[in-house]
Structure 1
């Protein structure tokens, strides 16, 4: 019997996915490499923000690799143009990408929150409400990211039915996952806005020239993009 093979060439959308993903990985590698150099050569501090950043980098890399596998099996191509085994493999790696990306996004938020806690220093003792606000953001982010993970993998019984519809079983959990996914994505987007604008409240009262303050505002506001 002839063995089905993955598509020999990537579709246009697959190439676009890989281009965006690996470009982001390349930029992240450069930036995080600079962070490692600063930690080794200058600060010599290995705080929680660094370890959360490292975990974020690793999970982002893992997510990009799984998306690479999905694209190689035809993700981005018309489903009718794919062989059955290629379609199943593309969908399987697509779901693995989703599961990995959820952790990458959550860990990235924790890295930012940890960094904000560090730079505020003793201010958190004088203004404890800031500390509790940071903790609130961290724990709610952790809750929604951990909470959505089992819903993703429990959409179908057995789990493999997510990418292989021919299997016996059911997928009663799809709607439940869809609803929570809307909430999760909305909350994470709102958290991006908060974490982009919150630093303004930290440095605006510092003794800096107005043009430096405005520059910092625009720098942190780029997180909104």
Structure 2
């Protein structure tokens, strides 16, 4: 129905996603601080990404009472320019949240990789920031004067209607593809560790949750031509939120491991009635290295850093 108000449902969805991703981020940071590890650039960039997501959702919340989520013909005409102006800011902050969340995970991988893979990672960081950054810039500059972007009744000229949505689809699609690439790269280094295959798969899967962010980004491209639609807003928030959650899950292995250890201390005993303990497989690999058989920092020409780097996630 044209007179449906989808604003309340949109707010419920976007705030739920923002809150859930905020919880994952907070636990990620708490796990690092609890183990007395210093925060690094990936933590700061991911936090900034969540702040951008929060700001965009606050703007959406302010826009709903003015008519966002309703068919344009049911929005008071005096609110159209305000909604357009606020929508541009919402889109800009949403783009920054998405691209910086991906940048954060790429920075994390930089600490694990070496050789040519690092060049690939830097190329991904540069290209997604440029492509998505241009998307945000074009949002403001596609009309002359710029005020015509949010006030279509003012005099001026704009790009052909299909140009900006076409570039937006390209940028979002490229960003989604890079999510899949970033999700697959960890398998290359993890598969070389001296761990049980089951443990390798578990660690690799934890670091590959970005495939869901990539799927969300690809799906979002289908609604880019209707930038003001509630679907675009919800899927834009979903992309950033899922990426933040995916980037936080590997670090949460610390929490899961500690909970497992606590459970075994309370309920588990060894064959002789004593606590058997639980050792994380990555920690075991690092212990072997500290006992004298320290793993090489590189594996072959252009290889990856040794397992000591995986202390990032333990």
Q: Normalization by structure 1: what TM-score?
A: 0.84
Aligned to 2:56: 63
State the alpha-carbon separation in 2 of the partners of residues 104 and 178 from structure 1.
Answer: 19
- 1:67-146 alignment to 2 at 5 Å? 67-118=60-111, 120=112, 123-124=113-114, 128-146=115-133
SS at match of 2:151: coil
Give CA deviations for 1:188-211 in whole Å, capped at 9, x if unaligned. Answer: 010111112221222122122222
Separation in 2 of the partners of 1:60 and 1:146?
16
Q: Partner of 2:251 in structure 1? A: none
SS in 2 for 1:99: helix
The whole-number CA distance in structure 2 between the counterparts of 1:152 and 1:42 is: 43
Evaluate the alpha carbon distance shift between residue 214 and residue 44 of structure 1 in structure 2; reply closer, same or farther with a 3 A threshold. closer
Structure 1 counterpart of 2:190: 203
- In 2, distance between residues paired with 1:92 and 1:173? 20
TM-score (norm 2): 0.62
The RMSD of aligned alpha carbons is 1.9
5+ long unaligned stretches in structure 2? 213-314
Q: Which of these two proteins has the greater Rg computed from alpha carbons?
A: 2
1 CA distance for matches of 2:184 and 2:197?
17
Match of 2:12 among 7, 13, 19: 19
Q: Which residue of 2 aligns with 1:5?
A: none
Alpha-carbon deviations, 1:106-159, whole Å to 9, x = none?
Answer: 1111100111112x1xx51xxx11111111111111211222222111111222
Over residues 33-61 of structure 1, what are the superposed CA-to-partner deviations in whole Å (9 max), with x where a residue is unaligned?
11222333323312111111121111111
The equivalent position to 1:32 in structure 2, one of 17, 25, 36, is: 25
Q: Report the number of matched residues.
A: 209
Tell me which stretches of 4 or more aligned residues in structure 1 moved more than 3 Å: 173-176, 216-222
Residue 219 of structure 1 is matched in structure 2 by: 206
- 1:96 and 1:165 map into 2 onto residues whose CA distance is 17
Deviation readout 1:59-116 (Å, 9 max, x if unpaired)? 1111111122222211121111111122332232222111111111111111001111
- Higher RCO (CA-CA < 8 Å; seq separation 6+): 2
Task: Identify the structure with the greater helix proportion.
Answer: 1
Q: Is the 8 A contact 1:99 1:149 kept in 2?
A: yes
* Cα distance in structure 2, aligned partners of 1:176 and 1:96: 20
